A and B are shown apart, each in its own frame.
Chain A
Amino acid sequence: MSSDPSDNTLENHTPSIKSGPGDLEPVSSTPADLTIPDSSSSEDQVQPTDAQPQPPTPNSGRSFEPAKPSTSYLHWSSLLFDVLAHGRQYIFPIAFAFLSATRQNWFWGVAAIVSLFFSLLRTFFRYFTLHFGIHQGELIVNQGLIFKSTRTIPTRKIQNIDLRQNVLHRFFGVYEVHVETASGQDAEAVLRVLTKPQIDQLRAEIFSSHKQTATYRPAGNVLHDPSLTPTPDHAPQLDPTVDLANIPVQPGFDSQKYLENSDELHESVLLQVPLRHLLLAGLTSNRGWVVVGVLIGLYYQFVSWESWDDKAIGKWIRQLLPLMPHDQSGWLGLAAMVLVFWGCLKLFSMGWYVVRFYGYRLALSGNDLRVTCGLLTSYSVTVPRERIQFISLQQPWLFRWRGYSRVSIETAGGASQSDGQDQIQLMRTAFVPIIALTDLGPLLSAIRPNLLWNESKWVWQGTASRTGRRLLRFNLIVGCLISTVLTWFYWPWGLLVPIGLLPLLVWHANKTAKSLRYARTPFGVVYRSGLLTRKTSMTFFEKLQTIKIVQSPFDRRWGMIELHFDTAGAGPADHPIHVRYLDALWAQNEFAELRSLASQHCPNQKRVDRWHSVD
């Protein structure tokens, strides 16, 4: 056990890691194409154009950082943060133990102390044994003293490196690092905690090896080697080549220089959100309800010890009924109270938005989009551009009125609802919390090259002409049912309901029929829906996984069809592209055209040319 950073433990481990036959990564296992020319030994420099695969030599382990040892350790404050992170799990057991101790029952108290002790011991062991490094295109995390574990993540598959920094982290100047890959629900590895220089180095190493992968792919003959042909499992990970291939490749590309400069890759700021806009964004959100939920939870936890059962609701109503107003001033008072409550709710929402998104900054660095924001806990999320499967513009009515929009994105994988990840997940849902519509076009082009936001020039396909009638008929049937039930119970006042409801139903049917729109654009498909909150979602031909037509018996009766598009995005935008009420004949043609378009646009090298020609 040693925490000496110069210890070469990783080098001692790596030959055994690389010797396994199962790690035949198509790119990372060919060191001849990947190894950076070692500047210290100039006589055996490997030229980038020299693509002869050489057998892996275990001793040439120092691929990316020849000068520095490639083993890193966590920052010393990790001890504290690890205890804090696991301490959350111990709050309730300790509280329980404390409560039983007050009743002279010491057993649980002792049990809690023992388990806490073991958890602390684990933290110490974890801290002193965990080390990680980049070796031959793979991030290797070693851990454990008696039971050693080695986790190997090919850097090529690393999608995002997300950072979190709360107030305490800021005090120590450290960050919590989440390394995300496409697979699975949770972060592939959480490094708690690292300093900024360590992270910069890690980022540079990982993403420079991305660039290496991308630039060498066309030059070398790696993929011609039949033993290295990608298996189907690797197919989704291959799509970075689509956009990365846009980087011009010169025959004598100087990778050493490129790598040295990768730290200072030009970072262009795409968007900064002023506080005024954040307040507006907060006004449209319902985050305040979270506070209400927390308050109710606290009330039941600490103030009222009575249990919540089926009788509780009845009791609440009995308690509240006498409070109902009896005269005009009482009603006015109630209305005022509701208004104040609503105002507080909105204030909470605005405050939450400010805390969460303060100092929002979206930047493009190389091929990665980088978001940094947060007042107390600051977040930094990196999303490689080509991983974006789906973009959704969401406009609540207030946004539409003032000419703003929110932008959500979906990436493959990393879509988890689990604790800790939901904050980072939120960065997808509100990737851009608010943006003026006038800035939208340039931003979208930056998020995805070749995406020209040109709404007015696209051919928008509305719903079939019969849709209004179909929806109205459905609405009327539902309205009749409701009215019948109400009239049955409240004769004759129930009759007023259908009279009031009728114009609303007609309006709703017509508006809905008109609000649904679909367009096929040069880059993909766009779908728009929503009456109050309008959502406009788009996906791209090469990201379409399956295309589906669904026709219900009702659809058949009205000569309509539904078109469904499936992507690898896991749905944080909450707007699946299910285009309903399309004219059946038109949609069948569209389906056939989309089939051929989707098969022409595929995420690999060969079809890229055609993709550009389409655009």
Chain B
Amino acid sequence: MEEIAVDAQPTGEQPPADLTPKPASEITPEFYPLDPQFISFSRTTGFIFTTILTLGGLVACLIVWRSQGLNWVTILVLSCYLILVSASAWSSWSWPAIEFRNVKWRLDSTGLEIHRGVFWRHQIAIPIARLQHADISQGPVQRRYGLSKLTIFTAGTSHASIELDGLSLDSATWLRDQLIRQREALDVV
């Protein structure tokens, strides 16, 4: 997995990692990208997926070959397999960079705003006061790249939870602390 190099270093600053409280008005409303490690992480998971697909598909193809012989069904299955594996390999290599370019987020005095999506583009705004709670989670592969996933819960129905995957652990912690601090500032009368 080490051979996967990060070649597309995106531009853009990372949010400040200091956890000193700031008044809401001082938070600059500029957009931040995800952590560039997100690309490596996505490629790693894509690589793992492609490997499993390749091996599983190979076994399936062998079974078909053994049972059917080399007839048109086997050829069809084999070509489907090859197309699928190459598509998976290609997308797990190039898709993360495309996805990365289309995700950005910002925090200002009104709340959190997340932009994402490549074909269907979404912009989600969560007013600070609507935040119920926020979770940070980290899977084993994410931990290797120092990444984490921030999940924000609201009382809504169709967007009861909003995920922001691919933040560095520092950014996620900073963002969560900022959100909760601002919300508390609203709550304590």
Question: Does A282 have its Cβ within 8 Å of any Cβ on chain B?
Answer: no
- Chain B residues positioned under 8 Å from A547 (CB to CB): 124-125
CA distance A594 to B126 in the complex (A): 11
Q: Considering the complex of A and B, which 5 residue pairs feature the smallest CB-CB distances, nearest first?
A: A545-B156, A602-B129, A566-B156, A549-B123, A599-B110
- Asked if A595 and B157 sit within 8 Å, CB to CB, the answer is no
CA distance A337 to B42 in the complex (A): 64
Partner-binding segment picked from B82-90, B113-121, B136-144: B113-121
- Asked if B125 and A548 sit within 8 Å, CB to CB, the answer is yes
- Chain A residues positioned under 8 Å from B30 (CB to CB): none
Q: A572-604 CB contact bits vs B (8 Å, 1 = yes)?
A: 000010000000000000010011101100111
Q: Which of A24-49 contact B (CB under 8 A)?
A: none
In the complex, residue of chain A having the shortest beta-carbon distance to the beta carbon of B180: A232
Question: Does A412 have its Cβ within 8 Å of any Cβ on chain B?
Answer: yes
- Chain A residues positioned under 8 Å from B123 (CB to CB): 548-549, 591
In the complex, residue of chain A having the shortest beta-carbon distance to the beta carbon of B129: A602
Q: Is the interface of A mostly helix, strand, loop or mixed?
A: mixed
- Asked if A598 and B132 sit within 8 Å, CB to CB, the answer is no
- Asked if B157 and A546 sit within 8 Å, CB to CB, the answer is no
CA distance A467 to B183 in the complex (A): 40
7 A–B pairs (Cβ distance < 8 Å), ordered by A: A546-B125, A548-B125, A550-B120, A566-B159, A596-B110, A599-B128, A606-B186
Indicate which residue in A232, A236, A551 contacts B121 across the interface (CB closer than 8 Å). A551
- Asked if A412 and B155 sit within 8 Å, CB to CB, the answer is yes
Known: A548-B124, A595-B125, A599-B109. A566 touches B157 (CB 8 A): yes
Q: B71-93 CB contact bits vs A (8 Å, 1 = yes)?
A: 00000000000000000000000
Indicate which residue in B111, B129, B157, B189 contacts A567 across the interface (CB closer than 8 Å). B157
- Give how many A residues have a beta carbon under 8 Å from the other chain's beta carbons: 40
- Chain B residues positioned under 8 Å from A604 (CB to CB): 129, 186-187, 189
CA distance A544 to B119 in the complex (A): 26
B163 to chain A, nearest CB (A): 13
- Asked if A230 and B125 sit within 8 Å, CB to CB, the answer is no
CA distance A230 to B159 in the complex (A): 23
CA distance A545 to B144 in the complex (A): 34
CA distance A576 to B157 in the complex (A): 11
- Chain A residues positioned under 8 Å from B122 (CB to CB): 548-551
- Asked if A568 and B125 sit within 8 Å, CB to CB, the answer is no
In the complex, residue of chain B having the shortest beta-carbon distance to the beta carbon of A551: B121
In the complex, residue of chain B having the shortest beta-carbon distance to the beta carbon of A571: B157
Question: Does A605 have its Cβ within 8 Å of any Cβ on chain B?
Answer: yes
Question: Does A224 have its Cβ within 8 Å of any Cβ on chain B?
Answer: yes
- Chain B residues positioned under 8 Å from A556 (CB to CB): 121
Indicate which residue in B124, B125, B131, B186 contacts A607 across the interface (CB closer than 8 Å). B186
In the complex, residue of chain B having the shortest beta-carbon distance to the beta carbon of A564: B158
Q: A226-268 CB contact bits vs B (8 Å, 1 = yes)?
A: 0001101101100000000000000000000000000000000
Q: A538-572 CB contact bits vs B (8 Å, 1 = yes)?
A: 00000011111111110010000000101111110
- Asked if B189 and A545 sit within 8 Å, CB to CB, the answer is no
- Chain B residues positioned under 8 Å from A229 (CB to CB): 184, 187-188
- Asked if A553 and B120 sit within 8 Å, CB to CB, the answer is yes
Q: A545-B155, A595-B113 are in contact. List 18 more A-B contacts (CB 8 A).
A: A223-B188, A224-B188, A236-B155, A544-B130, A545-B130, A546-B156, A549-B122, A550-B120, A551-B120, A551-B122, A568-B155, A568-B156, A569-B157, A595-B111, A595-B125, A598-B111, A598-B125, A602-B129
Question: Does B127 have its Cβ within 8 Å of any Cβ on chain A?
Answer: yes
